[in-house]
Chains A and B, each alone.
Chain A
Amino acid sequence: MSQRPIRVLIAKPGLDGHDRGAKVLARGLRDEAFEDVYTGLRQTPEMIATAALQEDVDVVGLSILSGAHMTLVPRVTRLLNERGMADVLVTVGGIIPDDDVPALREAGVAEIFGPGTTIVQVADYLRANARPRD
Chain B
Amino acid sequence: MEVDVVARATTLSDAAVSGDRLALSRLLTTVENRTPIAEAALRRLYPSAGRAHLVGITGPPGSGKSTLVAALIAEVRAAGRPVAVIAVDPSSPITGGALLGDRVRMQAYAGDDDVFIRSMASRGHAGGLASTSTAAASVLDAAGFDLILIETVGTGQSEVEVAATADTTVVLEAPEMGDEVQAIKAGLLEVADLVVVNKGDKPGAQRTAAQLRAMLVASAPRDPADTRPRPKRPEVLITTAATGAGVPELLLALDRHRAAAADGGEVEARLVRAETQVWAIVADRFRARLHDPAHAASTAAVLEEVARHRLDPFAAADRLLSEIEAD
Contact = CB atoms under 8 A, between A and B. Distances in A.
Task: For chain A, give the interface size range.
Answer: 20 to 34
Contact of A54 (B36, B111, B118): B118
B30 A134 contact: yes
Contacts of B209: none
B103 A31 contact: no
Interface string B12-26: 000000000110011
Interface residues of B, number: 33
A53 B113 CA distance: 11
B269 interface: no
A55 B32 contact: no
B99 A36 contact: yes
Contacts of A5: 96-98, 121
Interface string B55-97: 0000000000000000000000000000000000001100111
A29 B119 CA distance: 16
A30 B95 contact: yes
A15 interface: no
A32 B111 CA distance: 32
A26 interface: yes
Contacts of A43: 107
B110 interface: yes
A55 B104 CA distance: 13
Contact of B33 (A1, A31, A40): A1
A30 B92 contact: yes
B103 A37 contact: yes
A43 B110 CA distance: 10
16 contacts: A30-B92, A30-B99, A31-B95, A35-B91, A35-B97, A35-B100, A35-B121, A36-B97, A37-B100, A38-B99, A49-B110, A50-B110, A50-B111, A51-B103, A51-B117, A134-B37
* 5 cross-chain pairs, A with B, having the tightest CB-CB distances, nearest first: A40-B104, A47-B110, A30-B97, A50-B110, A56-B25
Given A5-B96, A27-B99, A47-B107, 15 more contacts: A1-B34, A1-B36, A4-B33, A35-B98, A35-B121, A37-B101, A38-B101, A38-B104, A39-B104, A49-B110, A50-B109, A53-B25, A55-B119, A56-B28, A134-B33
Interface of B: 21-22, 25-26, 28-30, 32-37, 91-92, 95-101, 103-104, 107, 109-111, 116-119, 121
